[in-house]
Structure 1
C-alpha cells in the first residue's frame, strides 16, 4: 500500500513539475510576442499580459507544491534550529500540521472563491471565467496537502526519487 501511494505521489509530483515548467516556458514565449507586437508591429495585443499573469499564478501554486515535496521550498528555521534537540521531532510535526491547516484553508476557501466568481468574465479575455483564473489556488493547496500528509505518514521523500532513478538505470544496464 505504501509503495502504491508513493508511486501515485511520484506521478503527481512529476505532473506538477511538467505543468509548472510548461507554464513558465509558455509565459517566456508570450511576453516577447507582446513586446514585439506593441513596438515593432505598432498594435499591442491585449491577451499576452493577462495570459502571462495567469500562467505565473499557475507556475507559483503548482510549482510550490512540487518544490515542497522536493524539499526545495523556502523554510526559515532560525528559531527552531536553536531549540533543544529533543524538541526537534515535535516541532517538525507541529510545522507540518500548521502547513496542512494552511493548505486546507487554501483548498476550501479557494474552491469557494472559484464558485463565487464563476459567473464573472475577465474584461481582457471575455470568454474566460474569473473562477477559472483562481483555480490554481485550491489545486495547489490540495496538491501541497497531499505532499504534507505524505511527509507526515511516510517521512521526507525528497531524496528517494534520485535513488529510484539510479536503480532503474542499473536494472536497464543489467538487461
Structure 2
C-alpha cells in the first residue's frame, strides 16, 4: 500500500510540475504574441485557462493527500483522541460525499454532455477538457479513503498542535 501511495504521490507531483511548466510557457507565448507581435494568440489563452484548471484540481488532490489542505482544528485538538477520530471520520465522509456526487458523478455527466461539442480553438472537445473534474474527484476519493483507513488504524495519533502553535497560544 505504501509503495502504491508513494508512486501516486510522485506521479501526481510530476504531472503537476509538467502542467505548471506548460502553463508558464503558454502565458509567456500569449504575452509575446500580444506585446511583441501585436497579434494575440487566441488558442494559447484558451489552453492556458484549461491548463490552470487541471493544475489547480490536481494540486488540490496532492494537498489533500499530504493533509496540507486548509483545516481549522483548534476545537478538534481539544477533544479526547476518540472524539478526534470521530470528528476526522465525519469530516472525511462529508468531503467524500461531496467529491463523489459533485466532482465524480456531476463531472462525468458534464463531460458526457459536452463530449461531442467541439472547442473552436483547441483540437479537443469540451467534454475531454471537462474530464479534469471527475479525474480529480477520483484522485481525491483515493486520498480520502486512505485517510479514512488511517483514522481506523491503531496508529492514529489524532490532532496534535505544533510547538509554534503552542507558543502562539501561550502568548495570547
TM-score (norm 1): 0.79
Provide the residue aligned with 1:32 in structure 2. 28
**d(CA) in 1 for partners of 2:72, 2:20:** 26
- Structure 2 unaligned regions, length at least 5: 154-172
2:90 corresponds to 1:90: no
Q: Summarize the alignment of residues 1-175 of structure 1 with structure 2, pairs less than 5 Å apart.
A: 5-81=1-77, 84-85=79-80, 86-105=82-101, 106-125=103-122, 127-155=123-151
Q: Distance in 2 between matches of 1:104 and 1:6?
A: 24
Residue 77 of structure 1 and its aligned partner are, at CA, apart by 2.9
Give 1:79 shift: 4.8
SS at structure 1 position matched to 2:87: helix
Looking at structure 2, the residues matched to 121 and 81 of structure 1 have their Cα atoms a distance apart, in angstroms, of 50
Deviation readout 1:141-166 (Å, 9 max, x if unpaired)? 1011101111111359xxxxxxxxxx
For residues 44 and 29 of structure 1, what CA distance do their matches in structure 2 show? Answer: 15
2: CA distance, partners of 1:75 / 1:135: 27
CA RMSD of aligned residues (A): 1.8
Give per-residue Cα distances to partners, 1:5-51, cap 9 Å, x unaligned: 22112211211111111111111111111111111112111111111
Aligned to 2:156: none
Whole-Å separation in 2 of the counterparts to 1:31 and 1:102: 32
CA distance in 1, matches of 2:95, 2:5: 18
Task: Quickly say closer, same or farther: Cα 1:50–1:79, change in 2 above 3 A.
Answer: farther
Tell me how many residue pairs correspond in the alignment: 150
Q: 1:76 to 1:122 in 2, by over 3 A?
A: farther
The gaps in structure 1 that reach 5 residues or longer are: 157-175
